Amino acid sequence: MQFKKAIAEARKGSKERKFSQTLELIVNLKDIDAKNFSLNDTVLLPAGRGKEQRICVVGTGDFVVKGKKCAEKTVDVKEFDEFKNRKKVKSFVKDVDYFVVEATVMAEFAKVFGQVLGPKGKMPLPHHIVPPGGDPCTMAGKLRKMVRVRTKKSPVIQVPVGTEKMNDEELEKNAKAVLDFLVGKLERGKENIREVLVKFSMGPVVKVNG
């Protein structure tokens, strides 16, 4: 795939804005049963996200204490009663990208936050839940470089792979990493891909040849 050429063309066609635009990777699929196709996972971007990712650590005692060193927000299980109001939950989670949750409180966390986080695709995935005695900062560090890949009953997958502040080589690395991940998840690999496109937030859509 000629990502570098397509990214350069997309950048050239995108007018300067007052904010840093995101580069989106768009993958149109074919020969799949869209009604039964879903995907919800994360991919490590080798060149990073290009923007800050806000993390919230949730757990008990020492786990939360450790989390305060690396996360923007923390919640101790003892504070769950403060989130009985759904409006408060919505307000609290709106600026959080990822939750790092201690395994021992995951069930309670799901009861309190699940109805709000589920539809937003922000519930922690099984491999993001930290076992007892684990260090939340290790997982938080990984998540800062990850992107969520999520689609349900759709033949189109759209994933942010960086920002315009990053150079074309960095964006190319990230785009390739996401595409390789998707190919590995499709039943027939590349044969299930109709076309690959890229675009900046307010720019034109550019087809990636190759």
pLDDT at position 25, please?
A: 98
State yes or no: pLDDT of 88 exceeds 90: yes
Average pLDDT, the chain: 95
For the chain, the first-to-last Cα distance in angstroms comes to 4
Give me the domains of the chain, ranges plus CATH numbers: 3-50+146-207 (3.30.190.20), 55-143 (3.40.50.790)
Per-residue DSSP letters for 127-141? Answer: GGSBPTT--HHHHHH
Instruction: Give the residue from 59, 66, 71 showing the smallest Cα distance to 105.
Output: 59
Given a contact cutoff of 8 angstroms between Cβ atoms, the answer to whether 199 and 9 are in contact is: no
pLDDT (tens digit per residue) in 153-167: 899 999 999 999 999
Residue listed under structure tokens 């690959």: 196
pLDDT at position 97, please?
A: 95
State yes or no: pLDDT of 126 exceeds 80: yes
pLDDT at position 17, please?
A: 85
Q: Is 52 helix (H, G, I), strand (E, B) or coil?
A: coil
State yes or no: pLDDT of 105 exceeds 90: yes
| Measured distance CA(210)–CA(195) in Å, rounded | 10
pLDDT (tens digit per residue) in 32-60: 998 888 899 999 999 999 999 999 999 99
| Measured distance CA(193)–CA(174) in Å, rounded | 18
pLDDT at position 155, please?
A: 94
